[in-house]
Amino acid sequence: MKKLGICLIITGILFFVFGIAIGTPRAQEAVKETGAAPASPSQPAQPLRLNVFEGGEQTAGQPFDSEKLLPPGSPQWIGAPLMPGGRKMSEGSGRFVQEYDKPYNEVLAWYRQALKNYPDARYRDWSHEMYIEDEGASRWLAITLSKEGGPKTQVTIVKDNWTWIFATLFLRFFGVFVVLLVLWLGLNIATFIVRRLVKDEKEPAPASA
Amino acid sequence: MELNEILDLLHGTLQTTGFMFVGWKVIVMWLIGLFFLYMAIVKDFEPNLLLPIGFGIFLVNFPNTPLFGFSEGHPQLLQFFYKYGIIWETIPCLIFLGLGAMTDFGPLIANPMMLLIGAGAQLGVFVTFTGTILLGFSVKEAASVGIIGGADGPTTIYLTALLAPHLLSANTLAAYSYMSMVPLIQPPIMRIMCSKKEKLIRMKPSARPVSKTEKILYPLICGGIIALLVPAVMPLMGMFMFGNLMRESGVVKRLTATVGGPMMDVVTVLLGVAVGASMQAEVFLSYKPIMVFALGLADFVVCTAGGILTVKVMNLFRKEKINPIIGISGVSAIPMSPRVAQIWGQKYDRKNYLLMHAMGACLGGSIGSPAAAGMLLAMFK
C-alpha cells in the first residue's frame, strides 16, 4: 500500500503541474472568446444545450435555415441577413463584403436582433471581430463583424465551404490520435514509475535474507 | 333518445379508443416493433436491448396511449424515462459507470500501444461525417450519425441527445444493430484487407502481468488526461473511470457488484424502452432514419478498415509485427469484436492466440470513441 500511496501522490503532482500548464492559457482564451471572467472551479459548468430555445423546452432539434426566418423581401445574401444601408465592397461566389458607417456595437445589436429566433447561430467574440458561425442548415458558414473600424464596420458573409469541413475533420481525427498518444505516454510513465518502485521494494528483500 | 344522439354517443365513445386513429404508419411501426421482438425472442439477437426497444416501439405506436406525451405539463411514463434518462444524458453516463465496473483494462495497460488502433478505428466517424453532409444533413446531424461507427452505444446516445435528438432512435438502433452484427460485417472486410502472410503473423500469447497498483492508477491517469484534453466528454469518461476505480480498488466490492450488475440491468431496461418509445410513426417514418441506417453501415465498415490500416502503418515501424486481424477490434464492440478476431485468427493459424491483444485494441477503441465524440462536441461548444 505504501507504493500505491507514493504513486497517488506522484500522479496528483503531475496533474497539478500539467493542469496549471494547460489550464492557464485555456482560461485566458476563454476570457478572450467570451469577454467574461473564467468560471471558478467551484462554479458549475454551463450544461451544453444546443437545441434549446430561450425559455423553452428542448425542441425536436430539426436544423434550421436562417433564410426561412427572414421577413419576406428583407435584404439578404444566400440566406444571411444583411443590415440595410451599407456599401457593397465586394461580392464573389463564396464571399460578400459590405461596409456600414456605423460603429461595431450598433451593427452587432442589429444582427443579434435579426438572428434572435435562429437557434443555430453561435457567437464567438474574438479580439478583432465578432464571428457569428452557423451550426444549422443555412448556406452561409459565418458572418464576421469587424471591430477595428471605429465609426465604420465591415460585415463579411462567407458561404459554407468544403475546405472548412475537411480541415476541421482532419484536425479532429488527428486530435483523437493526440489524445490517445498522450494517454499512451502517461501510461508508459506511470508503468515505468510503478515498476521501478516495485523493483526497489523487491531488491532489498534478498539482501536482508 | 333519438338515433342521432345514440350515434353521437357511440362516436364519442369511439373517439376515446384508439380505433379511430389507426393509420398505415402506425401499422408499419407495429410491424417494426414486432420484428425486433422476433429477433430478440426467436433469434436471440441482442435480446437484452432489442426486447425492450421492440416492446417500446409496439406500445407507443398505439394511438391515444398516455405514454410518451405530456399530461398537464408533466411527462407521461415513457416520456419521463426518455426526458430524464436520455435527453438529460443520465442513462448513457450510468451505463458507462457500469461498464467501468465490469471492465478489466489489464490488456491495454500491458500493451498501451493498442490505444493507437482504437484511435485509427475512428476514421469512419470522420469520413461518414463528410458523406452525411453531402447527403443534405446538417453539421450537428452529421456529427451524431458519424459516431455510430465507433460501435459505442452509450456514446452514440450521449452525442445524439446533445446534437440531434430527433435522430436519437434511428442512431441508437443503428449503433446497437451493427454492434450485434459484428460477426457478419467485420470478417469480409478483414479478408479483403489482409494478405495471407499478414493473417499468419503470430503474436506472443500474453503480454506482461499488470500489477494492482497500475490498475488502480489507470482510471486516475486516463480520467485526468481526457479531462484536460477533451473535457466535453467527461460526463461519460468520468463515470467510466469511476466505475473502474471502484472495481480495481477492491474496497467497495458490494458497490461494484451493484453498479456492474443490478444497476446496469435497470438502466438497460429503461434505455431500451425509452429509445423504443421515441420511435413514433410521425418521427421515424421519414427518409432520414433510413439514411442513418445506410450511413451507419458505411461508417462501421470504414471504422473497421481504419483499425486494420492503423495496424499496417504501425507494422511499418515495428520489429515485432502485429497481426492486422486485431485491427477490426479497434471499434469498441466489447466483447464481440475481440472474439471475432480470435476466431478468425485461429482459422488461419490454430496456435495463434489473438484474444488478449484484440481486447487491448478494443479497450483502446472504448477510449477512442468518446474521445472522437468529444472532438465533435468541441466543434459546437
Nearest to B140 among A50, A60, A165 (CB): A50
Question: How far apart, in Å, do the first and last CA atoms of chain A sit?
Answer: 22
Nearest CA in chain A to B146: A169
Q: Tell whether A65 is within 8 A of chain B (Cβ).
A: no
Indicate whether this complex's ipTM tops 0.90: no
For B10-40, what is each residue's pLDDT tens digit? 888 877 777 777 888 889 999 999 998 998 8
Q: Tell whether B31 is within 8 A of chain A (Cβ).
A: no
Distant-in-sequence, close-in-space partners of A195: CB < 8 Å, separation ≥ 6? none
Q: Tell whether B221 is within 8 A of chain A (Cβ).
A: yes
* Min Cα separation B299/chain A (Å): 14
Residues of B in contact with A166 (CB under 8 A): 130
Number of cross-chain residue pairs from A and B with Cβ atoms under 8 Å apart:
150
Q: Does B9 have pLDDT greater than 70?
A: yes
Backbone torsions φ then ψ of A121, nearest 5 degrees: -90, 130
Interface test with B, best of A172, A174, A197, A201 (most B CBs within 10 A): A172
pLDDT at B176: 83
Per-chain mean pLDDT for chain B: 89
For A130-157, what is each residue's pLDDT tens digit? 989 887 778 888 899 998 878 899 999 9
- Cis peptide leading into residue B335 (ω within 30°): yes
For B321-375, what is each residue's pLDDT tens digit? 999 999 999 988 888 899 999 999 999 988 888 998 999 999 999 999 999 998 8
| Window 118-157 of A, Cβ < 8 Å to B | 120, 122, 135-137
Interface test with A, best of B147, B221, B230, B381 (most A CBs within 10 A): B221
Whose cell is 435528438? That residue is: B165
Q: What are all long-range contacts of A106-113, with beta carbons under 8 Å and residues at least 24 apart? A: A106/A153, A107/A83, A107/A145, A107/A153, A107/A155, A108/A145, A110/A83, A111/A81, A111/A83, A111/A143, A111/A145
* Min Cα separation A149/chain B (Å): 28
| Window 145-164 of B, Cβ < 8 Å to A | 162-164
Arithmetic mean of pLDDT, A63-83:
78
For B71-101, what is each residue's pLDDT tens digit? 888 888 999 999 899 888 899 999 999 999 9
**Element (DSSP H or E) covering residue A207:** helix A204-208
The top-scoring range by mean pLDDT among A41-45, B128-132, B340-344 is: B340-344
Could you tell me how many residues make up chain B? Answer: 381
Q: Does A57 have pLDDT greater than 50?
A: no
CB B56 within 8 A of CB B34: no
Are A182 and B229 in contact (CB < 8 Å)? Answer: yes
* Min Cα separation A68/chain B (Å): 15
* Min Cα separation B171/chain A (Å): 14
Between the alpha carbon of residue B65 and those of residues B31, B62, B77, B280, the distances in Å are: 18, 6, 11, 12
Q: Does B220 have pLDDT greater than 90?
A: yes
